[in-house]
Amino acid sequence: MNPKPLKIGVVIPVANESPTIIDFTNDLINELDKTDTIYKIYFIIDKVSKDDTAKKIKVLERTHPEVELHFVPENRNVVDAYINGFKVAIKDTPDAVIEMDAGFSHKPKDMFKFIDGLKQEYECVFGVRPLCSLKYRVPLKRRVLSLGGTILANILLGTKLSDMTSGFEAFKTDVLQKVIEKPFESRGHFYQTEMRYRCKGRKSLEVAIDYEFPSKSVSSKSINNSFFVLLDLFKQRLKF
């Protein structure tokens, strides 16, 4: 007897993705169709998006029933976009939820790696960028921030992951529900590190991914928030 196909939800926050959203979605659908899964793609958009990204996704919805656009105006930051996206997907009771970014910074061709990991009964599957590779074309500042953040987080939080700041990741739904029960302290992309820390002790797998940094820099506000949240998580860890 063949095993039941895995039911997954793919959560993708989007903002100002008009130039690439059609090609990205078509590529993602093509890759997902190669897998033994039943899937839905949830695009999460809010007032930050000023172009016609939403209009183009609505066109895709008409021909692709697996595509859904959700407007969430109450989002205050990128963390809200991810968490509200997870809540939308969980309502459809998938076996697992995969988080990724649009704009081809995360490659649809890598999707099968996460699905294979979930089928092997891993509870969490984390994408790992080739941060140490000299062949990896990435702005020096972004490389230093990602590598330094990973090393510092592993030291302070007791984690042992190769990449603590990547946003391409997958979770079994029951694990994800528990992880997002408590509000996140992060207000920016350090949320990814906080997420991995909350998954410490879970049966996890790391998979190599291709990645293109969408910007050369990170705002000082985001860096400051990351530093203070990391210190707070370290203090919390010391209490246990």
Residue 1 lies in a domain: no
pTM for the whole thing?
0.92
Residue 175 lies in a domain: yes
Residue 194 lies in a domain: yes
Residue 155 lies in a domain: yes
Taking the CA atoms of residue 44, residue 163, residue 215 and residue 106 in that order, the dihedral angle to the nearest 10 degrees is -50
Q: Comparing C-alpha atoms, which of 90, 83, 80 is closest to residue 174?
A: 90
Q: Comparing C-alpha atoms, which of 141, 160, 146, 147 is closest to residue 199?
A: 160
Is 100 strand, coil or helix? Answer: coil
Name, in order, each residue with C-beta under 8 angstroms of 144's C-beta and a sequence gap of 6 or more: none
Spell out a b/e string for 61-85, using b for 16 or more CB atoms within 10 Å of the CB, else e.
eeeeebbbbbebeebebbbbbbbbb
Indicate which CATH number applies to the domain containing 220.
3.90.550.10
User: Span 125-130, mean pLDDT?
Assistant: 92
Q: Comparing C-alpha atoms, which of 106, 225, 83 is closest to residue 169?
A: 106
Is 213 strand, coil or helix? Answer: coil
pLDDT at 3 over 90: no
Sequence-separated contacts (24+) of 153-156 with Cβ below 8 Å: 153/193, 153/196, 153/197, 153/230, 156/230, 156/231, 156/233, 156/234, 156/237
pLDDT at 87 over 80: yes
Distance from chain centroid for Cα 71: 18
Task: Look up the domain containing 23 and give its range.
Answer: 6-239
Number of domains in the chain: 1
What's the pLDDT tens digit per position in 154-170? Answer: 999 999 999 998 889 99
Retrieve residue 68's tokens: 């859904």
- Tokens 């092997």 — which residue? 120
Q: How are beta strands 67-71 and 124-128 bridged, if at all?
A: unpaired
pLDDT at residue number 216: 54
130 near 136, Cβ under 8 Å? yes
What's the pLDDT tens digit per position in 128-147? Answer: 988 777 666 667 777 778 88
Residue 77 lies in a domain: yes
